[in-house]
Structure 1
Amino acid sequence: MSRSARLLALMQTLRRRRRAATAEELAGELGISTRTLYRDIATLVGEGAPIEGAAGLGYVLRPGFFLPPLMLGEEEVDALLLGLKLVGQRGDAALCRAAEDALAKIIAVLPPERENATDSGLMVPSEQPDGTAHMAVLRQAIRREQRLHLRYTDLKGQESTRIVWPVAIGFFAAVEVMIAWCETREDFRHFRLDRIAMAAPSEGRYPRRRRVLLAEWRAQLGIGS
């Protein structure tokens, strides 16, 4: 591995971590010696990378630092562009605009040989699913950990009203599904977005943190974290 590739790999390793990592942990993951790791850290700090920490204490990359898309490999660029195209088709209006803006920013800083990256041959369906009507409200409720008042029609055509604690939205091939704790059923339930007739914020935040609820849902289904 070249030195420049090693430095980039170190930055990527730091970005993936939420807590400080020791030199031994970082060196082990990168397959280098701690001496080389210390040298690379010093090089990156000298070039302006916001790495905080010290030998014996661990290192962490300060939040808010982003590597420019210019430094991404071809496969990484393709992955990003494909993902943003999918968001543009499956998201609500705000997500679609954000995807378009992000796509424009990435394309603007790509090297000349990748200027036709959008014509890579990776295509997504042009139709938009029916479940996006309430997605913005659901996403906001998930972000704020806010209770939701739903009017929902089940597979048998029966309509009900529920107060739920939204946990996550799952995107599947044909539908989007909201995972939520239902106060009526006192258990987790899955709600197809295209069957939600009404979604409105209810009073107050739900009593347990979303990450706790998500962990409980995963445990109930036997899904690893």
Structure 2
Amino acid sequence: MSRSQRLFDLLQLLRCHKFPVSAENLAGKLGVSVRTIYRDIATLQLQGADIEGESGLGYILKPSFDLPPMMFTVEELEALRLGAEWVAKQANGEFSEAVSNALAKISAVLPSGHQAKYNEDIVRVASIINIPQVMVELSEIKQAIKKEYKAEIIYIDAKKHTSTRVIWPMLIGLFDQYHVLVAWCETRQGFRNFRLDRIKAWQQVEQKYQRSRHDLLSEWQALEQISHKFYSY
């Protein structure tokens, strides 16, 4: 590994930590000595990287510091492409244009000699199965979630029972078979998952949740034993 690549990898490691990380930890991940980490940290600081900390206490990269955005490895670009292709084929193609634009921007700013420009993909995302038709516009649900507005829905459950409910929409999950809306249900006084294809009517209510979406998500994730790193919309 070249020194420039090691310095970049060190920055990436620091960027992944929200709290100070020890030189020993960094050295172990990069396969170098602790002394090398000390020297590299000093070099990065001289080059303008906003790194705080010192030996024995750990180091942290301030959030205000931006890394060059396109220093991806071929494997990282492959992962981004596969993820983008999967997203493009979800949600009735709602994100396909955004995906195409994003991939085009990445390709445009890659160095001319980057290996990814000449690699033929060897892994592809298969077409997803046909999911049940969704009657509600995904954009309306997303807008309600962003504004933390309630919604009144007409829902048909698995037993074909129809009910009208007021919910606090929180999160959309995209699955191969169907799409799910996670929400707090005022009728049931609890968190519920609603399949989007079973929502037959949607009306946004111009009324905010009684609690913040952040707090609701935290409580739901704790109940479901979901890692805090998991998020959809």
Q: Match for 2:163: what amino acid?
A: S
Equivalence for 1:124: 126
Stretch of structure 1 that moved more, 117-126 or 184-193: 117-126
CA distance in 2, matches of 1:8, 1:24: 16
Equivalence for 1:95: 95
Q: Match for 2:66: what amino acid?
A: F
Extract unaligned runs of 5+ from structure 2.
229-233
Q: Deviations over 1:125-173 (max 9, x none)?
A: 1777434852222223333333222222222333322221222222222
Equivalence for 1:53: 52
Larger helix share, 1 or 2: 1
Q: Superposition RMSD on alpha carbons, in Å?
A: 3.1
CA distance in 2, matches of 1:21, 1:47: 20
CA distance in 2, matches of 1:192, 1:103: 30
Contact kept, 8 Å, 2:128 with 2:176, in 1: the verdict is no
Q: How far off its partner does 1:48 sit?
A: 4.7
Name the SS for the 1:10 alignment partner: helix
Equivalence for 1:27: 26
Q: How far off its partner does 1:47 sit?
A: 4.0
Q: Structure 1 residues 86, 131: closer, same or farther in 2, change over 3 A?
A: farther
Q: Deviations over 1:23-75 (max 9, x none)?
A: 447536635555433432333344454x3424358422425735433x22222
Q: Match for 2:117: what amino acid?
A: E
Name the SS for the 1:27 alignment partner: helix
Question: Number of paired residues?
Answer: 222
Name the SS for the 2:207 alignment partner: strand
Map residues 1-20 of structure 1 onto 2, 5 A cutoff.
1-17=1-17, 19-20=18-19
CA distance in 2, matches of 1:94, 1:11: 35
Among 139, 146, 166, the alignment partner of 1:143 is: 146
Q: Structure 1 residues 79, 58: closer, same or farther in 2, change over 3 A?
A: same
Q: What TM-score do the two structures reach when normalised by structure 2?
A: 0.77
Equivalence for 2:231: none
Matched, 1:161 2:160: no
Name the SS for the 1:198 alignment partner: strand
**Percentage identity across aligned positions?**
38
Q: How far off its partner does 1:101 sit?
A: 1.3
Q: What TM-score do the two structures reach when normalised by structure 1?
A: 0.79
